[in-house]
């Protein structure tokens, strides 16, 4: 008897290369636990901010108040996506524009300033105690090493600079950012330079 030859198996299809998994997005820095004194200070600043808005004929709505509270809970300095993450953790799905609109209002009230060089929002250290008609030019000292931002109460300096820019160059400045090294980073640099000089000797 003749044997029936089995048909040869079709060649295996070439395997499709699997694309490497995309790296997970960088997690937002975790907020440090707050002490009782810090919580009391934040509550006081929120009440002052609400009173300032009332004096200016507007409202610090619950949403605006919460965004300011989240910013203060992050030490008064945060990126918008950090605040958006905090809102999502608290409420689930939240549109990013919800946070940006609240920040826009807080900047109009000068309760918050934006540091363009770092794309960071900081809580104003003077706005809550200002009069209803108070306006000031923010003077921001931005450390290029540790990214620390400090708003200085040197409004006369900022005002003179913005006036000079307007008069001489027709440039309407909106706040002043000065880049450099903060006190701590400058001191570290000085110690490092001193140690290097000693080692060379």
- Final residue of a domain: which of 111, 130, 149? 130
Under a CB-based contact definition with an 8 Å cutoff, are residues 166 and 158 in contact? no
Q: What is the structure's pLDDT at 120?
A: 92
CATH number at residue 102: 1.10.10.10
- Final residue of a domain: which of 102, 130, 158? 130
- Domain hosting 152: range is 136-201
**Pairwise pLDDT comparison (84 vs 31), residue with the higher score:** 84
Rounded to an integer, what distance in angstroms lies between the CA atom of residue 78 and that of residue 82?
6
Does 22 map to a domain? no
Percent over 90 (pLDDT), the chain: 44
Under a CB-based contact definition with an 8 Å cutoff, are residues 161 and 136 in contact? no
Under a CB-based contact definition with an 8 Å cutoff, are residues 139 and 154 in contact? yes
- Final residue of a domain: which of 88, 115, 130? 130
The 10s digit of each residue's pLDDT in 159-175 is 788 888 889 999 887 77
Same domain, 141 and 126: no
Same domain, 170 and 186: yes
Same domain, 42 and 111: yes
Mean pLDDT, the chain, integer? 81
DSSP sequence for 48-75: HHHHHHHHTT----HHHHHHHHHHHHTT
Does 51 map to a domain? yes
Rounded to an integer, what distance in angstroms lies between the CA atom of residue 10 and that of residue 7?
9
Ranking 118-122, 139-143, 151-155 by mean pLDDT, the lowest is 151-155
Same domain, 143 and 123: no
Task: State how far the alpha carbon of 36 is from the alpha carbons of 31, 42, 43, 86, 148, in Å.
Answer: 15, 10, 11, 20, 24
Q: How many domains does the chain have?
A: 2
Does 11 map to a domain? no
Mean per-residue pLDDT, 76-86: 94
Same domain, 90 and 168: no
Strands 77-78 and 120-123: antiparallel
* Virtual torsion, Cα 72, 125, 103, 85, nearest 10 deg: -20
Under a CB-based contact definition with an 8 Å cutoff, are residues 60 and 48 in contact? no
Same domain, 83 and 126: yes
The 10s digit of each residue's pLDDT in 10-67 is 555 555 444 444 444 444 556 678 899 999 999 999 999 999 999 999 999 999 999 9
Does 9 map to a domain? no
């Amino acid at each position: 008897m003749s044997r029936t030859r089995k048909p040869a198996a079709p060649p295996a299809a070439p395997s499709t290369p699997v694309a490497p998994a995309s790296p997970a997005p960088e997690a937002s820095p975790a907020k440090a636990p707050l002490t009782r004194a810090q919580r009391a200070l934040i509550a006081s600043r929120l009440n002052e901010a609400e009173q300032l808005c009332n004096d200016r004929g507007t409202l610090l709505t619950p949403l605006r108040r919460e965004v300011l509270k989240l910013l203060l809970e992050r030490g008064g300095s945060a990126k918008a996506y950090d605040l958006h993450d905090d809102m999502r953790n608290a409420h689930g799905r939240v549109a990013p524009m919800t946070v940006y609109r609240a920040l826009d209002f807080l900047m109009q009230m000068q309760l918050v300033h934006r540091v363009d060089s770092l794309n960071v929002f900081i809580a104003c250290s003077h706005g809550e105690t200002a009069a209803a008609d108070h306006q000031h030019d923010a003077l921001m000292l931005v450390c290029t090493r540790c990214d620390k931002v400090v708003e200085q109460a040197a409004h006369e300096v900022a005002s003179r600079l913005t006036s000079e820019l307007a008069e001489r160059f027709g440039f309407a400045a909106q706040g002043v950012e000065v880049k450099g090294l903060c006190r701590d980073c400058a001191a570290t640099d000085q110690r490092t330079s001193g140690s290097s000089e000693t080692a060379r000797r």
